[in-house]
Structure 1
């Protein structure tokens, strides 16, 4: 390599270095400022969400479901303004930003129709209110207690405390069974007694167990009726009304109490039996 080639290479390297220095000088502070704005915006969005949630919680009549939803909206609004501020840091005009956001929003809306449908579903869930935070529901193939209704998703907790995050569209697009909607629920039992047992005695024994449990409601009144003559038992249907919160406790306790009471009364609870005839060959 001759001296001329060496000089050209040095000049090229020098030009590249000068260009890098110029770019760092021109945009370095803008990049640092943009990163700072992003960090501050992220922190402020979290603070704003918590402040809104805390402020609305002071109003006892304001539903907790709406608190979570509005808190999420405030968070995303702050993040949107943060993005606009970051773009403005690089000298982009506000009008251009709004136009760009409109175009980008249209493109994203077409590309993410499913995601945006979750937002629309969340709004519909807030308007029609099929459930609220704290209700136990069965929707979208999952059952659990509602913990939060967010902008895109609904959070559930199963009875064994497993966390489930469901898209709002999946809930709104199907049926919702709300077990906590009403203050009372009916607990159903099916008790079988032998054909030789005294039906009136069995009904009286079952009613005494129900009456002794303070969780059973007098209005609506309970029902104890003979409902079916089965293959191996006389079936007695028992219907007891309780508060929704007492449902499973009453279900488990009365099932055990019925068995103990019928045993004490000497009333047989049969189980399926089969008679087999053995045919001997000639």
Structure 2
């Protein structure tokens, strides 16, 4: 009789444990589908918090299973203590740099020193921001390379940011003392205007042993064309100075040919054919950064539009309210599609 009661007690315990495992497994599977299974193409910045939530679900389910195990109270406390030690050890022995980059990523999201689409320079790297991750920030360089910079580097070192509101484009050159500086400054200002820069200004930055160093600058309103703008400025300087029969050469320039006093080292002017339309260099170099910037701008625009529609819907009635709700629904679906879009793919 006692053996039968003992068997019944064990069967009840085993059944309770089986139910606990099934329930815990169901909770974990359901949480995985809700948090991660439906979001396969989610960007890393939004996926990471869901992964943390999934780990917490697994942790709570593990603790729940320990609580229903048929063991003594002291053994149960020892198991929970062992679980705490394992978690503490995992955190303690995890990569310190990963934690540093994670904290730096949250700090960058709070301070927002730059946004997707901005040009930044940090240490020896220059490029356009194409992705903001929790552990690193991706930029696209002038050679179209994708460079992942750890967020800790961006926090510890100065970051030069060129915002979309406008940038200064400059060029530096040296000319001889025999040329009047007022004339040169006028010509350089003209060249900057021809290149498309606004409000050009010129500085004399050095009086060297053999030449005067000038810097010509101007405002570029469309920052996306920065590289092309620099090239056009250099081209305009060459055309303007050579058109005025002014030589541009190194102070150490030496020519062994016998030239007359009236001869200049200026190429002859030619009439070039009208060049065929070609894509701007920035469209090729910064393709991913440009696409990311466009999607980010569209997200912000949609979000602001949805908020305006929601405010209008509160005071609207009848048919007008139905139309506003339909517009809100369409905008929300488009916003969700943008957030779920895979990298490098426009929805």
TM-score normalised over the length of structure 2: 0.53
Q: CA deviation at 1:141?
A: 5.5
Residue in structure 2 matching 1:217, options 173, 198, 204: 198
Q: Where in structure 2 are there 5+ consecutive unaligned residues?
A: 1-16, 69-75, 255-347
Question: Quick check: 1:245 aligned with 2:224?
Answer: yes
SS at match of 2:87: helix
Query: Alpha-carbon deviations, 1:134-187, whole Å to 9, x = none?
Result: 323234654433333333333333333333334333332x12413333622222
Q: Secondary structure at the match of 2:174?
A: strand
Pick closer, same or farther for the CA change 1:75–1:161 going to 2, 3 Å.
farther
| TM-aligned CA distance change 1:210 to 1:144, over 3 Å | closer
Match of 2:36 among 37, 41, 46: 46
| Bigger relative contact order (CA 8 A; separation at least 6) | 2
The higher radius of gyration belongs to 1
TM norm structure 1: 0.63
Q: Is 1:259 matched with 2:226?
A: no
CA distance in 1, matches of 2:214, 2:146: 39
The count of aligned residue pairs is 230
Deviation, structure 1 residue 32? 10
Per the alignment, residue 72 of structure 1 pairs with: 48
> CA contact under 8 A between 1:195 and 1:234: conserved in structure 2?
yes
The aligned counterpart of 2:249 is: 270
Q: 1:141 to 1:268 in 2, by over 3 A?
A: closer
How well do the aligned residues superpose, as a CA RMSD in angstroms?
4.0
Unaligned runs of 5+ in 1: 1-26, 54-66, 276-282
Rate the CA distance shift 1:128–1:100 in 2: closer, same or farther, 3 A.
farther
Q: How many Å separate the matches in 2 of 1:33 and 1:148? A: 39
Q: Which residue of 2 aligns with 1:105?
A: 87
